[in-house]
Amino acid sequence: MVTSTKGAGRAMTTATRPIRVVVSGPDGRMGRAMTSGLPREQGIDIVGTLRRADASPSVAKTLAGADVLVDFTHVSAARGLMLRAIEAGVRPVSGTSGVTEEDLRAVDDAARARGIGAVWAANFRLMGVLLTHFARIAARYVDTVEIIEAHHATKADAPSGFAKELARNIRDAHGDALFDPPVRNETLAGVRGGVHGGVRVHSLRLPELQPNGWHELIFAGGQELLSIRHDDWGYEAYAMTVANAVRKVMEPGVVGLVRGYGAVIGLEV
Ligand SMILES: NC(=O)c1ccc[n+]([C@@H]2O[C@H](COP(=O)([O-])OP(=O)(O)OC[C@H]3O[C@@H](n4cnc5c(N)ncnc54)[C@H](OP(=O)(O)O)[C@@H]3O)[C@@H](O)[C@H]2O)c1
């Protein structure tokens, strides 16, 4: 059901016409996948694009004809684009990395005030969401975990937004600080990675990984290790999962921010 476009389409049968989508950042990797893939999804039309250089009146005009803004741009732009869309009564669906908790609160508040929905997800991959789900289960029982993420060398940010979401989920499910063994003699600054939510994160950036990437969690304790790894590659498959989010955000009962692709498909994470 989750991977079926048709099944997701049934979730918004109230729509009598295709959902009109505007894509911001259409020249980026994700933007190109959206403009080419979303029109192939049931009940979705692309009616416009927003580029960095677009003047304000042109942005207003483009948004005026839309139901949903799909945003994969840059952290410096995402909050402003989402709020601008909400102001115009357009529901944002964003996967831009690096937005802060405060950004998300602002989007949630604005969407609630406007009586519409919004979606932000650090990872629009089904199996990425399953990884989060499994991580939360393991984190309830295990005190030590580290995250390794690997992406292409041109990725703008490090760590990945998804690695930070994983760390946040692990800390939340664990309910307490995780064990972070101190190193007595660290001879290379930064060699133990960064800490987010009390969880160590290590980022690899390798040119050959384009367009692949992975996130690996290594839990340890009681003379046992548990490794859970999610690999992904290519961009085409995102059109289907983002289409599910577009349909979800159009459901009449959806008001305020839906956070994470798990919440879009009804998986508690
Ligand atoms: N949630 C997920 O599952 C997921 C998956 C993949 C990627 N992402 C995230 O999505 C974002 C885009 O990824 P990508 O790989 O497509 O990046 P990309 O190839 O670098 O493309 C970024 C796009 O955003 C535009 N942009 C940059 N700054 C902007 C600004 N200030 N105002 C308006 N547009 C701006 C760029 O326009 P110009 O051409 O003018 O520079 C470009 O079109 C990143 O944050 C990435 O981490 C999320």
**What ranges do the domains of the chain cover?**
5-124+237-265, 126-232
Q: Is 241 in the pocket of ligand 1 (CB under 6 A)?
A: no
pLDDT at 156: 82
79 and 99 Cβ atoms separated by less than 8 Å? yes
37 and 5 Cβ atoms separated by less than 8 Å? no
pLDDT at 8: 40
Q: Is 29 in the pocket of ligand 1 (CB under 6 A)?
A: yes
pLDDT at 1: 34
**Would residue 155 show up in a list of annotated catalytic residues for this protein?**
yes
**Which of 73, 83, 126, 264 has most ligand 1 atoms within 8 Å of CB, for mutation?**
73
pLDDT band of 142, cuts 50, 70, 90: very high
pLDDT at 218: 98
**pTM of the predicted model, to two decimals?**
0.87
Percent of the chain whose predicted confidence (pLDDT) is above 70: 94
Q: What are the structure tokens assigned to 190, written together?
A: 């930064």
CATH architecture of 126-232: 2-Layer Sandwich (3.30)
Whole-number average pLDDT of the chain: 92
Percent of the chain whose predicted confidence (pLDDT) is above 90: 85
Mean pLDDT of 48-75: 96
pLDDT at 72 over 50: yes
Question: Do the strands 19-24 and 68-71 form a parallel or antiparallel pair, or are they unpaired?
Answer: parallel
pLDDT at 18: 97
230 has which bridge partners? Answer: 215
Q: What is the spatial distance between Cα 79 and Cα 88, in angstroms, rounded to a whole number? A: 14
Strand segments (E) across 152-243: 194-196, 199-205, 213-221, 224-232
pLDDT at 194 over 90: yes
Q: How far is CA 242 from the centre of its chain?
A: 10
Superfamily of domain 5-124+237-265: NAD(P)-binding Rossmann-like Domain (3.40.50.720)
How confident is the model over 206-233, as pLDDT tens digits?
998 877 899 999 999 999 999 999 999 9
Among the listed residues 151, 174, 230, 248, the single catalytic one is: 151
Look at ligand 1, atom 37, and give the residue with the nearest C-alpha: 25
Look at ligand 1, atom 6, and give the residue with the nearest C-alpha: 30
**Which of 49, 72, 265 has most ligand 1 atoms within 8 Å of CB, for mutation?**
72
pLDDT band of 54, cuts 50, 70, 90: very high
Q: What is the spatial distance between Cα 269 and Cα 136, in angstroms, rounded to a whole number? A: 7
Residues 6+ apart with CB under 8 A from 48: 22, 23, 62, 65, 66
pLDDT at 35 over 90: yes
Q: Is 97 in the pocket of ligand 1 (CB under 6 A)?
A: yes
Q: What is the spatial distance between Cα 91 and Cα 109, in angstroms, rounded to a whole number? A: 13
pLDDT at 269: 61
Q: Is 77 in the pocket of ligand 1 (CB under 6 A)?
A: yes
Q: Which ligand 1 atom is the nearest neighbour of the CA of 121?
A: 1
- Return the closest-CA partner of residue 262 out of 148, 120, 167: 120
pLDDT at 26: 98
